[in-house]
Structure 1
Amino acid sequence: MRIAFYGSSLLSAYWNGAATYYRGILSALAGHGHRITFYEPDAFDRQSHRDIDPPDYAEVVVYPATGEGLARVVAAAAAADVVVKASGVGVFDDELLDGILAAANPGALRIFWDVDAPATLAEMRADPGHVLHRALSQLDRVLTYGGGPPVIAAYEGFGARACIPVYNALDPATHHPVPPDPRFAADLAFLGNRLPDREARVERFFLVAAARLPERAFLLGGSGWETRGLPPNVRHVGHVGTRDHNAFNTSPRAVLNIARDSMAAVGFSPATRVFEAAGAGACLITDAWEGLDLFLKPDAEVLVARDGRDVADHVAALTPERARAIGEAARARVLDRHTYALRGVEVDRILREAAAEKAERGVLVLERSTA
């Protein structure tokens, strides 16, 4: 199938947490014979912070963030068998969704792919005029990168024909064990940009733990923390490019995952970082959220914390041998059950089933119209 995918950025992970997810999913889909064009706006300084070259699994069209650029890429939807509008493009989001739904040929699949379903659903509840309220009836599928039963129920309650989570996963060719790097040596490391709905949880889980263990070394990666006061045993290294993620994960004794407020509240939303860390064989400590045991087994493949006190207790008790055992078990689990190759099989099936269903609906409509 010819897939036209409208997202934030495939080429740059700069302030773009969905990049790894897009790359894994689309690379796997290309392996099933799908021809993909990814449309991304030239915005947010991402093009000057590219971390990959244009890949061979998708044609990438970078368009100016102008009305003229919008019109050009919307018109291109007419040539696709599948049109996908992802959430969070950041430029002309509503106009893109309305435009590609109108431009797509009648037989094309129309899909909304939500990479932040809790936030989108909160917006829909607060705004009766939200673009998705009028678009859902035109969509063949809503796909999300997490959320589980609560998100499915919410979207279908709003009128979605079907909502299917397609979870984050591991690309073992990209995220894998590497030798430790002294730049990232620490007892515990956390990587994440400073965001309004994450900062309080970073304080609760990471900074509180650091304050409780002043003799231990803590490492903070990500943008936006430069102006935040940090305990003296926390070293901030700024933005960490994707090329350094493996070293960031393998060098500390343990790494910490902290879900954003909305993701933690909904559950069933493993961040990309969970699979990246597991793929590198890192010992992962995560905040507690519903659905975690679907992906990793607590105490054997991941350590779970309810607050900073728990994090500190885990760090204080963790030996190199136990850290290594947990990391190896997590890596084995995700390689067996949570790779993008497996997600590609899943999405390929979703597309083919949706296309068959749409074709059948079309026949039925034609039969009724000629009866």
Structure 2
Amino acid sequence: MSRPLHLVVLGLSLSSSWGNGHATTYRALLKAFAARGHRVTFLERDVPWYAAHRDLADPGYCELILYPDLAALRDLRPLLMRADAAIVGSYVPEGVAVGHWAVAAMREAGGVAAFYDIDTPVTLAKLARGDHEYLTPALIRAYDLYLSFTGGPVLDRLEREHGSPRARALYCSVDPAHYAPAAGAPAYDLSYLGTYSPDRQPTLERLLIEPARRAPHLRFVVAGPQYPADIAWPANVERREHVGPADHPAFYGLSRWTLNVTRADMRAAGYSPSVRLFEAAACGTPILSDTWPGLDTVLEPGREIVTAEDPETVLRVLTGTAEADRAALAQAARTRVLAAHSAGHRAMELEAALREAAGQPAAG
């Protein structure tokens, strides 16, 4: 049997889920990774906007270290030198400097330096514009492993066009111990859970706000921070500023249907399932989604998920779907997600990718 690994993750946030989808992704993945017998240390930049909204002070399954700046991070080099692998995440503050530091330490220690891109299509669009906020072409070539939230053809592009030595898909996942169907009657016909994003807003307008205008007898809810004050919400759309991960199952349980909206760059690239897809499915809430290439490799349209591109389709689904069909679709999605997209599955994939990059045999 292969020995346990010590993994150091330098990510955007583990301590706060406010305004980002990274925290819930890291929490599920690293909890499951630690459950496989590995040691995990998470290094997070201590920034005021997350400090004011922390909802996980002590993860339990890993050591969480907050550092104030690059100088303090460099003082943690001995920790990195004792690790088997280091993962730097997308959108880490001063990510290029952090990445070069991590790669250099892993080169000296003989470990694996990896990049975990939770925003792959956005990252590639930024690189095409010459925007090197947290990644450069040189760093792509320097990392031993590029873990990508996006699968499909993008992986070939990362290796062929950008020079990554090894690009592997590592989708988000769901912790089945936390996300499960909640008891109680639904209070909303359609919900949406997500932070405001300008490139998602037109789809939200088309698939939720406009249907709400046309069907005042139905109830809708949009939860998430940073929405502009000038959005004209219909009277039958309830707004919630934030719903923490601990309350996600109850939120989905209040929804007859929930909406998945994909960012423009991710929709164009395809093969970029949102964590909300897996969370909602695990909670037994049927999903309405925009369409994108590769969706059918995650959930089967018509059997496990319903797609829509216009208000008419949304309203037809909300008002014309028999309750038995709605329940069957939700159950099929839940079964698929628990069989292929749990945090345990992702932890196995992560371990296999790290061992492959290190030239180690897969765990028995």
Same fold flag (TM > 0.5): yes
Rounded Cα–Cα distance in structure 2 between residues aligned with 1:79 and 1:18: 25
User: 8 Å contact 1:12–1:49 — kept in the other structure?
Assistant: yes
SS at match of 1:262: helix
Residues 189, 256 of structure 1: 8 Å contact kept: yes
Selected match of 2:223 from 215, 221, 224 = 221
1:117 to 120, 127, 135: 120
Q: Determine whether 1:19 maps to 2:23.
A: yes
Q: Which amino acid aligns with 1:156?
A: R
**Does the alignment pair 1:202 with 2:204?**
yes
Cα drift, residue 60 of structure 1: 0.5
- Report what 1:81 is aligned to: 84
Q: Tell me what 2:47 maps to.
A: 43
Contact 2:158 2:167 in 1 (8 A): no
2:346 corresponds to: 343
Q: Verify the 8 A CA contact 2:82 2:109 in the aligned structure 1.
A: no
Between the two proteins, the alignment pairs up a number of residues equal to: 354
TM-score normalized with structure 2 length? 0.91
- Among candidates 275, 286, 309, match of residue 278 of structure 2: 275
Determine helix, strand or coil for the equivalent of 1:83: strand
SS of the residue 1:187 aligns to: strand
Question: Deviation of residue 154 (structure 1)?
Answer: 3.7
1:111 to partner: Cα distance: 0.5
From the two aligned structures, give the one with the greater helix fraction.
1
Deviation string 1:74-122 (CA, Å, 9 cap, x unpaired) is 5642222101111112x22121111212223241101011010011111
Match of 2:327 among 324, 328, 332: 324
Conservation of the 8 A alpha-carbon contact between 1:253 and 1:320: no
Shift of 1:53: 3.9
Q: What are structure 1's unaligned runs of at least 5 residues? A: 359-371
Which residue of structure 2 aligns with residue 253 of structure 1? 256
Aligned to 1:369: none
Is 2:179 aligned against 1:187? no
- Describe the shift of the 1:152–1:54 C-alpha distance in structure 2 as closer, same or farther (beyond 3 A): farther
Does residue 175 (structure 1) correspond to residue 175 (structure 2)? The answer is no
Instruction: Summarize deviations over 1:283-319 as a string: whole Å, max 9, x none.
Output: 1111111111111111111111122322122112133
SS in 1 for 2:210: helix
1:143 aligned onto 2:155: no
Q: Which amino acid aligns with 1:215?
A: H
Does 2:166 correspond to 1:166? no
- Match of residue 290, structure 2, among 287, 302, 307: 287
Looking at structure 1, the residues matched to 291 and 282 of structure 2 have their Cα atoms a distance apart, in angstroms, of 20
Contact 2:125 2:265 in 1 (8 A): no
Q: Work out whether residues 156 and 162 of structure 1, in 8 Å CA contact, stay in contact via their aligned partners in 2.
A: no
Which has the larger displacement, 264-273 or 167-176?
A: 167-176
Q: What is residue 364 of structure 1 aligned with on the other side?
A: none
1:128 Cα offset (Å): 8.2
**Which of 230, 234, 239 in structure 2 is aligned with 1:236?**
239
Of 298, 304, 314, the residue aligned with 2:307 is 304
Stretches of structure 2 lacking an aligned partner (at least 5 in a row): none
* Cα distance in structure 2, aligned partners of 1:241 and 1:298: 29
Q: Deviations over 1:106-153 (max 9, x none)?
A: 411010110100111112122187742112232111001224223442
Using a 3 Å threshold, how does the CA distance of structure 1 residues 155 and 267 change in structure 2: closer, same or farther? Answer: same
Q: What is the alpha-carbon distance in structure 1 between the residues aligned to residue 331 and residue 237 of structure 2? A: 27
User: Does the 8 Å CA contact 2:34/2:62 hold for their aligned counterparts?
Assistant: yes
Distance 1:128 1:168 in 2: 25
TM-score normalised to structure 1 length: 0.90
How many angstroms does 1:44 deviate by? 4.2
Rounded to whole Å, the distance in 1 between the matches of 2:227 and 2:162 is 38
The farther-off stretch of 226-235 and 108-117 is: 226-235
Query: Against the structure 1 CA distance between its residues 254 and 114, is the aligned structure 2 distance closer, same or farther, given a 3 Å change threshold?
Result: same
| Alpha-carbon distance in structure 1 between the residues aligned to 2:247 and 2:340 | 25
Calculate percent identity across the aligned residue pairs: 34
Distance 2:348 2:195 in 1: 32
Offset, 1:47: 2.8
Q: Is the 8 A contact 1:144 1:165 kept in 2?
A: yes
Tell me how far apart the structure 2 counterparts of residues 23 and 198 of structure 1 sit (CA, whole Å).
25
Q: Which amino acid aligns with 2:208?
A: F
Indicate whether 1:92 and 2:94 are aligned: yes
* C-alpha separation in 2, matches of 1:106 and 1:165: 26
1:287–1:306 contact (8 Å) kept in structure 2: yes
1:136–1:309 CA distance, 2 compared to 1 (3 A): same
What is the 5 A alignment of 1:125-140? Answer: 125-127=128-130, 131-140=135-144
